[in-house]
A and B are shown apart, each in its own frame.
Chain A
Amino acid sequence: MIEGILSGITTALTPTNLMMVFIGCFAGTFIGMLPGLGPISAIALMIPITYGFDPAAGLILMAGVYYGAIFGGSTSSILINAPGVAGTVATAFDGYPLAKAGHAGKALAIAAYASFSGGTIAAVFLLLAAPALATVALSFQSADYFALMVLGLTAVSAFAGQGQFLKAIMMTIVGLMLATIGTDAAEGIQRFTFGRLDLLDGISFLLLAMATFALSEALMTILKGDKLSEEAHKATRGQVGSLKLTREEVKHIAPSIGRSSILGFLIGVLPGAGATIASFLAYGMERNFASAAEKLKFGKGSLRGLAAPETANNAACSGSFVPLLTLGIPGSGTTAVMLGALLSYNVQPGPQLFIERPEVFWSVIISMYIGNIVLLILNLPLIPYISRLLVLPSNLLVPLILFFSLVGVYLVSFNTFDIYLMVVFAVIALGLRLFNYPLAPLILGFILGGMMEENLRRALNIYDGYSFLWERPLTLCIMLVTAFVIAVPVVQGFRQKRAIEQAGEGG
């Protein structure tokens, strides 16, 4: 292992790869900041660009873009309440009120320090835990994988927001339905292809992600008018304020950062659960831990409420590399795109990656440390200047976003049918957004659909029926956790309803 780490350090510290980290972090911050372009789109756009690179350099660049995009997303969340990335939605809850109160600089600094701490602590966990986790995870069977995926998808829905549970579950199901389009992996039978050759391979993940996120976000900006630019003008015209934190403030947020790093990392490791869930969970956890007085501040500019999701989403980014690198299972939508990129380099992620390509595995982990340092020392001081990019008028920005998205997908398949399909999905996604349906569960359902079906098939065949759900202790435990995750929003909903009724009777 030591040799692997040393070869990783040597690879990561070559001038080319160091430059990749710099470029990746910078490009990622820029792209993540633009509302409508998140890390999925950013990495997807990098795939055609990195075709000629060696795997380590390509992966390092993409990891840099990933971190940068999450950090950039935090900036637009804080400054204009427009998260470019789903993982930074929770950041806006307290970051935006802070910025509105004139503490934008402080909020950005907390976001940067929290991201740095979360990313670094999680990278240490990754370094220590990845080999061990790979061994543990290798003992997982299909039944456990199936249960884990059900848990992941349920958790996404359960934390989608108040009153959104059913909508999120429905979106997960729609995502799973879309995943069944194409040729069935086990038997080679065509399903829902309507006789079209273009649909034989199913819908590409990149296409769906770009259409439902980048395209529909950009179209939404146009549909709702140019309000975003006005707000961005307002936010960036004024000074962002001091970037310094007091000793008390650091002491105040330090425990949150510690807790959220661990939580974020663990959530990131889970298949299906990524930065978004981690950030929401960390936010919820901090609110539960907070004193009654502190609780009232949540949503109105609580420092802990900002630090927790920021730490957790970066920690989850590191965590999501664990299943990707050790098992070949993406932990989030973004790592799913990376999986595609790795396969295009002829690198098959999994336990074999440790043995066959240790320099790839370890250099990515080492470059995460470097990436975090780059973000802190390069991006933070530049934020007031980079944030001026937010004032780019949408009549110039939107055609560019549409172009980058369409070309990003077209350059992978070179099939114009994909462009038409993207427009159709973008319009549907736009409708779903207008009806307040969350789209992240749809994407996750889509990613996990194929794997879920495969694992269910295997489990059913091994156990000759559904008995694996209660016969295998690990599967049973995971299913019980799933039941708990479903029960929480239901019980909360009933409690709130009762509270409202009682308040109504009392008043």
Chain B
Amino acid sequence: MSRDRLSALILLGLSIGYGVLAFRIKLFPGSEFELFTARTMPVGLAVAGSIVSFLMLVLPSRTAGDEPARKVLNWGKVAALCGLMLFYGATITRLGFLASTWLFLAGGILLLGERRWAVVLGLSVAVAVGFWVLLSKLLGIYLEPGLLL
């Protein structure tokens, strides 16, 4: 199955799933007689989405056959970066803006292969402290204090 067909199949599933949920939207009593309810647009979109993704599935794909040769993709690094972003989200209020930002930046730079400690520490500390000062001191934006500031 070509990549286009596979994605079309996923989107068809998504549209159908969305449609099923659309029919479960609760309505006020009596609104089934109205022209337009909270369900109207979602149901219309589910139908449109199903039709378009079905067409993508059955119509001959123009790009089939000339897909570029697959390159080696750095999935590991992307997954690690996503993990790091989730970690940032989890720690920004617990550890505090300053500490979690510093950890996030230093971690990201290290993860992407920078090994000069002066660069890693210098940049991450400068940006984290600079931003913290800009936001909390100069602009007066309230940042929830965490364990470590």
Binding site for B on A (CB under 8 A): 48-49, 51-52, 162-163, 166-167, 169-170, 173-174, 176-177, 180, 184, 186-187, 189-192, 219, 222-225, 393-396, 398-400, 402-403, 406-407, 410-411, 414, 416, 419-420, 422-423, 426-427, 430, 432, 435-437, 452-453, 456-457, 460-461, 464-465, 493
Most buried by B among A51, A169, A173, A452: A173
Docked Cα-Cα span, A166 to B50, in Å, equals 12
For A191, list chain B residues within 8 Å (CB): 22, 25, 38, 42
For A190, list chain B residues within 8 Å (CB): 26
Count of interface residues, chain B, beta-carbon cutoff 8 Å: 67
For B55, list chain A residues within 8 Å (CB): 166
Contact sample, A vs B, 18 pairs, CB 8 Å cutoff: A48-B139, A170-B11, A189-B38, A190-B26, A191-B25, A223-B73, A393-B114, A395-B109, A396-B109, A398-B108, A398-B112, A399-B104, A399-B112, A406-B89, A416-B90, A419-B86, A423-B85, A436-B63
Knowing A411-B141, A465-B35, say if A174 contacts B11 (CB, 8 Å): yes
For B53, list chain A residues within 8 Å (CB): 170
Docked Cα-Cα span, A457 to B38, in Å, equals 10
Query: Closest approach, in angstroms, between the C-beta of B149 and any C-beta of chain A?
Result: 16
Given A184-B38, A187-B31, 5 more A-B residue pairs with CB atoms under 8 Å apart are A192-B21, A399-B105, A423-B86, A432-B7, A437-B7
**B41: interface (CB < 8 Å):** yes
Tell me the nearest residue of chain B to A426, going by C-beta. Answer: B82
A395 and B112 within 8 A (CB): yes
**B62: interface (CB < 8 Å):** yes
**B125: interface (CB < 8 Å):** no
Docked Cα-Cα span, A370 to B14, in Å, equals 48
Which of B37, B74, B81 meets A225, CB within 8 Å?
A: B74
Query: Closest approach, in angstroms, between the C-beta of B108 and any C-beta of chain A?
Result: 3
Query: Closest approach, in angstroms, between the C-beta of B144 and any C-beta of chain A?
Result: 7
Which of chain B's residues 13-52 have a Cβ closer than 8 Å to chain A?
14-15, 18, 21-22, 25-28, 31, 35-38, 40-42, 45-46, 48-49, 52
For B105, list chain A residues within 8 Å (CB): 399-400, 403
Docked Cα-Cα span, A422 to B82, in Å, equals 10
For B82, list chain A residues within 8 Å (CB): 219, 423, 426-427
Chain B, 59-86, contact with A by CB distance < 8 Å: what is the 0/1 string? 1001100000001111101100110011
Which of B4, B49, B73 meets A177, CB within 8 Å?
A: B49
Docked Cα-Cα span, A366 to B63, in Å, equals 47
For B59, list chain A residues within 8 Å (CB): 166
Tell me the nearest residue of chain A to B53, going by C-beta. Answer: A170
**B119: interface (CB < 8 Å):** yes
Tell me the nearest residue of chain A to B6, going by C-beta. Answer: A435
For B56, list chain A residues within 8 Å (CB): 166-167, 170
For B31, list chain A residues within 8 Å (CB): 187
B36 and A457 within 8 A (CB): yes
B92 and A49 within 8 A (CB): no
Docked Cα-Cα span, A427 to B63, in Å, equals 24
B75 and A410 within 8 A (CB): no
Which of B36, B45, B119, B131 meets A173, CB within 8 Å?
A: B45
Docked Cα-Cα span, A166 to B105, in Å, equals 40
Docked Cα-Cα span, A187 to B28, in Å, equals 9
Which of A51, A169, A420 meets B139, CB within 8 Å?
A: A51
Docked Cα-Cα span, A156 to B93, in Å, equals 40
**B133: interface (CB < 8 Å):** no
